[in-house]
Amino acid sequence: MTIVCRSFAKINLGLRIGAARADGFHELLTVYQTIALHDVIRVSVERGSGIEIKCSDPHVPGDDSNTCYRIVDRAMPVLGAKGRVVIEIDKRLPVQGGLGGASSNAIATLVGLERALRKKLGAAERLSIAAEVGSDLPLFLVGGTVLGVGRGEQVYPLPDLPPIHCVVLTPEIGVSTPKAFAEWDRRNVDAKLTASASSDRMKELGRGLSAWLSEPYSSAPSSFTGRGRAENPLLWLVRAGIENDFEQVVFPEYPELCEGKRALGHAGAKYASLSGSGSTLYGLFVSKAAAERAAVRLRKQGWAAQATVTLTRRSYWSRIFD
Ligand code: C5P
């Protein structure tokens, strides 16, 4: 039996990079948001042993460095299962694109594998295996609007934002995340930015997010006027002062991406940003019509632009298998 699953992408609604840690990772504070763009993963368990990856995209590794391979390799013994696991990846999301494609592929593989075997891991086991494979995997075990802390692998479901229409630009540039972090460190050393200064910047975003999340409950005027976070999520996001620190190191290296952010603004985005370390850029729009118009305009300008929508936790989980 072959299990077919959608493997959805994420964007980052703000990302602050904190201090480099002794283990080589960096402290992060980010809000992940799942979106409707996706790859398709097919998982089957056959007689025999081993793990086989099939993908027609030459940028996707077919060996044990593939995140799908790595998660199956860890999950099979914990599930107490035997067999040859065949994973077919129908790649539509950009590779090294900042949309978490490889991480999402691994989680879709894991949930597909559990269904194929009719066995389930415990929630804590799943999270721990996911975090071993990569910092961006656990968010896909939550879906919707997700707070990410630690190295990004500690994830907490946030109250879901209502669906927001967006346009995603996918320039043909692969950005290496480790290199972007290394460049961040180099610039901070040059700027003599101390660890406490970088932790202050994280606290600043933390306060912004906290105010953003609590305002609908704590602020009388906004609840009286009915213009709280749920009614106007875009305004609230902008007020929270969200930004993505990776822009500071990625834009100077790839000026085309800074132009993409500007183009999204000119096309009517209420908020535009790099996603993760890029190269994907996204813009948030007030309506589906506005996002679709902007995508048409941006494609005419030569950008690879797609209109899509954010996915709440419920729609993320209900659309994985249907
Ligand atoms: O966890 P993941 O495999 O995605 O990380 C890839 C690389 O990105 C790490 O080896 C590390 O160099 C860098 N990284 C980091 N801090 C994080 C996440 C990733 O420095 N919070």
Per-position DSSP letters for 245-306, written without gaps between them: THHHHHHHH-HHHHHHHHHHHHTT-SEEEE-TTSS-EEEEESSHHHHHHHHHHHHHTT--EE
d(CA 269, CA 130): 34
Instruction: Tell me: do 48 and 151 sit in the same domain.
Output: yes
Instruction: Tell me: do 171 and 147 sit in the same domain.
Output: no
d(CA 277, CA 234): 22
Q: Is the CB of 251 under 6 A from ligand 1?
A: no
The atom of ligand 1 lying closest to the CA of 27 is: 21
Question: At 109, which CATH number?
Answer: 3.30.230.10
- Mean pLDDT throughout 145-166? 94
Instruction: Tell me: do 13 and 135 sit in the same domain.
Output: yes
More confident residue, 188 or 305: 305
Which residue, judged by its Cα, is nearest atom 12 of ligand 1?
178
For the CA atoms of 207, 212, 216, 221, the dihedral, rounded to the nearest 10 degrees, stands at 80
pLDDT at 116 over 80: yes
Which residue, judged by its Cα, is nearest atom 20 of ligand 1?
25
Probe target for ligand 1 pocket from 12, 16, 17, 25, with the most ligand atoms within 8 Å of CB:
25
Instruction: Tell me: do 145 and 228 sit in the same domain.
Output: no
| Catalytic (active site) residue 136 | yes
Q: Which of 157-161, 238-242, 275-279, 305-309 has the lowest mean pLDDT?
A: 238-242
Q: What percent of the chain has pLDDT over 90?
A: 77
Span from the CA of 96 to the centroid of ligand 1 (angstroms): 13
- The pLDDT score that the predictor gives to residue 218 is 63
pLDDT at 171 over 60: yes
Q: Which domain holds residue 71?
A: 2-160+314-318
Span from the CA of 146 to the centroid of ligand 1 (angstroms): 18
Instruction: Tell me: do 148 and 180 sit in the same domain.
Output: no
Instruction: Tell me: do 60 and 130 sit in the same domain.
Output: yes
Question: At 291, which CATH number?
Answer: 3.30.70.890
- The pLDDT score that the predictor gives to residue 228 is 56
**What is the per-residue pLDDT across 248-275, written as a single tens digit (0 to 9) for each?**
999 999 999 999 999 999 999 999 999 9
Single out the catalytic residue among 136, 245, 261, 270: 136
pLDDT at 241 over 80: no
Mean pLDDT of the chain: 91
| Catalytic (active site) residue 120 | no
Instruction: Tell me: do 55 and 115 sit in the same domain.
Output: yes
Spacing of C-alpha 156 from chain mean position: 14
- The pLDDT score that the predictor gives to residue 263 is 98
| Confidence label for 202 from pLDDT (cuts 50, 70 and 90) | confident
Instruction: Tell me: do 28 and 151 sit in the same domain.
Output: yes
**What is the DSSP code (8-state) at residue 244?**
B
d(CA 76, CA 89): 19
Instruction: Tell me: do 191 and 220 sit in the same domain.
Output: yes
Instruction: Tell me: do 42 and 109 sit in the same domain.
Output: yes
Instruction: Tell me: do 249 and 208 sit in the same domain.
Output: yes
**What is the DSSP code (8-state) at residue 60?**
S
Please, are residues 136 and 146 in contact by the beta-carbon 8 Å criterion? no
- The pLDDT score that the predictor gives to residue 189 is 73
**140 to 34, 44, 204: CA distances (angstroms):** 8, 21, 26
pLDDT at 280 over 80: yes
Question: Residue 134 corresponds to which tokens in the numbers above?
Answer: 């990569």
d(CA 217, CA 86): 49
Angle at 39 between CA 34 and CA 41, to 5 degrees: 115
What spatial distance separates the first Cα and last Cα of the chain, rounded to whole Å? 16
- Mean pLDDT throughout 303-309? 97
Q: Is the CB of 184 under 6 A from ligand 1?
A: no
Question: Residue 231 corresponds to which tokens in the numbers above?
Answer: 């009614």
Based on the structure, what is the number of domains in the chain? 2
- The pLDDT score that the predictor gives to residue 203 is 80
**What is the DSSP code (8-state) at residue 33?**
E
Q: Is the CB of 100 under 6 A from ligand 1?
A: no
Instruction: Tell me: do 114 and 196 sit in the same domain.
Output: no
Question: Residue 162 corresponds to which tokens in the numbers above?
Answer: 């209502």
The atom of ligand 1 lying closest to the CA of 134 is: 1
Q: Is the CB of 181 under 6 A from ligand 1?
A: yes
Strand partners, 29: 16
| Confidence label for 192 from pLDDT (cuts 50, 70 and 90) | low
- The pLDDT score that the predictor gives to residue 197 is 73
Span from the CA of 80 to the centroid of ligand 1 (angstroms): 30
Q: Is the CB of 154 under 6 A from ligand 1?
A: no
Which residue, judged by its Cα, is nearest atom 19 of ligand 1?
25
Question: Residue 61 corresponds to which tokens in the numbers above?
Answer: 């590794």
**What is the per-residue pLDDT across 16-60, written as a single tens digit (0 to 9) for each?**
998 888 999 999 999 999 999 999 999 999 999 999 999 999 999
